[in-house]
A and B are shown apart, each in its own frame.
Chain A
Amino acid sequence: MGKRLRRPVSGRMVSASDLAQMGRCERLVVFEHLHGIRRTAGQQRARARGLVEHEHFYREGLAASAQAARKGRCFIATCVFGEAWQTEVLHRFRDEALRPSAWGRRVIRLYYRGAPSICVILRRWPPLQVPMRMVLGAIAIGLRWWSGLRGGSKCRR
């Protein structure tokens, strides 16, 4: 029944959930330390239910993160530059200059419709990435000096 044996207490890690037991009952903390964790049948059922709900909660978080990551993607820039400052500047231009207005969001939607196919072409014929890199690089340099982006000077590295 018992899961733990009596152990020395000082100088070892305590988990946040073990510490939380102090807020329930300090006697229970001592009993569990001396005799190991014991649970009644009802507590075991509640724990099993809690684990299932926790798993759902985790999956919801994962799905939300995946969606947010997809929204945050800047297809062509990531394709030609990877995670570089140019990608970051274009990303910020999208979020700070385009996204607030209705026409900007329309532009973003149009871009997301066409960008994946352009990426496929760029990956299949890598020499095409050179002119694309030059064009996007020039735009990124221009945007870097444009005061329209919040904290524009911070971007000037």
Chain B
Amino acid sequence: MSALAWGVVCAVAVVGFALVMARWRSLETHAAWAERASRPVALRDAELVYMERLFRISTPVGLVAKLDRAYRLPSGLLVLVEFKTRWSNRPFLSDVIQLSAQRVAVMGQTGQSVASYGYVIVKAPTPRAFPTAHRVKLMTDEQVVALVRRREDVLAGRVLPRWSYSQKACPICAFRAKCDHPRV
């Protein structure tokens, strides 16, 4: 192969590499922009400190929680964020319980202050849907501990379990045939 051909091949390789790098940087920038856009306004100046991080405590109750995201405000306070994909654009009680349990686990393991509120980011399960952040008030430590104890009591048969709070949950439940709920 002549020197000219080598030169052309090298030039094409360099240009190709540059284009791949530029595309990669553009995708990364787009993803970072999407993260900024999905943030609640109150977290605009906050720093993203934890992602998909596991926290666990063994006292007063054994609890393990995986955070979706946690942001640190300039004041040092941590704010927890939970991501949900569903058609119904509103936070549920189960989201509040999950965030509250995460809060107890983070405070117990790290000793850091965590805000008494959190955000549930809800996104419809379509590619072009834009996520919406809902601010929710979290349960206190005592309420979370009481709920863990209640769960133990329910599973041990010491307390009768309640039926679903939502009427929509029963028709799509996989245990519909076993349930004795009047709605079912």
Find out whether the CB atom of A16 lies under 8 angstroms from the CB atom of B32. Answer: no
Find out whether the CB atom of A19 lies under 8 angstroms from the CB atom of B101. Answer: yes
B120-171 CB contacts (< 8 Å) to partner A: 121, 123, 125, 144, 147-148, 150-152, 154-156, 161-166, 169
Q: List the A side residues contacting B96 at CB < 8 Å.
A: 23
Find out whether the CB atom of A64 lies under 8 angstroms from the CB atom of B65. Answer: no
14 pairs of residues in contact across A and B, judged by CB atoms under 8 Å: A9-B151, A10-B152, A14-B151, A15-B63, A18-B151, A19-B101, A20-B94, A23-B165, A27-B164, A29-B154, A42-B172, A53-B125, A57-B121, A64-B32
Interface of B is mostly: mixed
How many B residues are at the interface, by size bracket?
Answer: 35 or more
- Name A16's contact: one of B102, B169, B179 (CB within 8 Å): B102
Report if B85 contacts A (CB, 8 A). yes
Nearest B-chain residue to A72, judged by Cβ: B47
Nearest B-chain residue to A17, judged by Cβ: B98
B interface list, Cβ under 8 A from A: 28-29, 31-32, 34-36, 38, 47-48, 51-52, 56, 58, 61-66, 68-69, 83-86, 92-98, 101-102, 105, 121, 123, 125, 144, 147-148, 150-152, 154-156, 161-166, 169, 172-175, 178-179, 181
Find out whether the CB atom of B165 lies under 8 angstroms from the CB atom of A12. Answer: no
A interface list, Cβ under 8 A from B: 9-33, 35, 38-40, 42-43, 46, 49-50, 53-54, 57-68
Find out whether the CB atom of A28 lies under 8 angstroms from the CB atom of B28. Answer: no
Question: Which among B48, B58, B105, B121 has the greatest number of chain A C-beta atoms within 10 A?
Answer: B48
